[in-house]
Amino acid sequence: MAIMTALIAAGWFLCKREILHADHIPSLTQLLLQVASPSVILLSGNEIFQQEQARWLLTSFILAIVFHCLFLTAALLLFQRDPVLENGVLLPNSGFMGIPLVQAVLGSSAVFLLTPFMIVNTLMQWTVGVYLMDHSSAFSLKKFLKTPMAIAVVLAMLLYFTPLALPPIIADVLTMTAALNTPLAMLILGALLAKTTLTQNWKLVRRCLPAAMARLLFMPLLVILILKGLPVPEMLKMLLTLVSSCPCAVSVALFSETLHQDSVKATTLVLSSTMLSLMTIPLISTLANFLWQL
């Protein structure tokens, strides 16, 4: 987290000094979402099939569904009729922050076990999340399957469950592009923080704080307590805990803009939860280790 914080600070500094301009952020975000993150996922599937790992992959998928159902229930109970806050509690930032976090803490091979959570998270985002913001919007499976992340997940599964493997040259290229994922994601977050001054509207920050705390503390605590009684490996427990403790997804702000919701509140929620997560994620992971040892 100290390394990630330093990278975020570097992004903030570069944006403030106008070395990294605000109008560069959309292009860098597309580079992250369409090249760097898919490269990480694709590489994670380029492994030798192991029956035990495949079993934990299925377990990860089932638990991801259970946890998202809990997130949705909590969001509807706590922030009924506020679609921005509901989405903030429902959707952790499993891609933008989850991938670099898991990659840094548990290693690149653990990212493959993260893919089921990302699949469920993305489906919830494009179905329930969109519906909460705009009841007239319809989910397009065809459009979703055309996204680079979805294609990378399908190819990673194909590589893992078949004898196929990436050619060495392609694997080397993907290794280089995947190395961009963590620094690029953190630099973008730093630039976003520099672009938006939260201190200009403390009233709005206070309105978003309960949802941010629900996302950062209440949701991961539920996950920790459920995982405590389950016979799953410590690595998978920590992976699910880390990704569940991530801040509100950046897509909450993006969708609120396109679906005519309060985009200022959504951006405030995303950025305030991101800043707070730099303190809460180490706290949650430490608490998880303590409770699981009892």
Task: List, for residues 196-225, the tens digit of each pLDDT value.
Answer: 766 567 788 888 999 999 999 999 999 999
Model confidence, pTM: 0.85
* The predicted structure's pLDDT at residue 64: 95
33-64 pLDDT per residue, tens = 889 888 988 988 888 778 888 899 999 999 99
Instruction: Name, in order, each residue with C-beta under 8 angstroms of 54's C-beta and a sequence gap of 6 or more.
Output: 160, 161
Task: Encode the chain (294 residues) as per-residue pLDDT tens digits.
Answer: 788 889 889 998 999 898 988 888 888 888 888 898 889 889 888 887 788 888 999 999 999 999 999 999 999 999 988 999 999 999 999 887 888 889 888 887 788 899 899 889 888 888 888 888 887 666 666 777 777 878 888 898 899 888 889 999 999 999 999 889 888 888 888 887 787 766 567 788 888 999 999 999 999 999 999 999 899 999 999 999 999 999 998 888 877 877 788 878 888 898 889 889 989 999 999 999 999 987
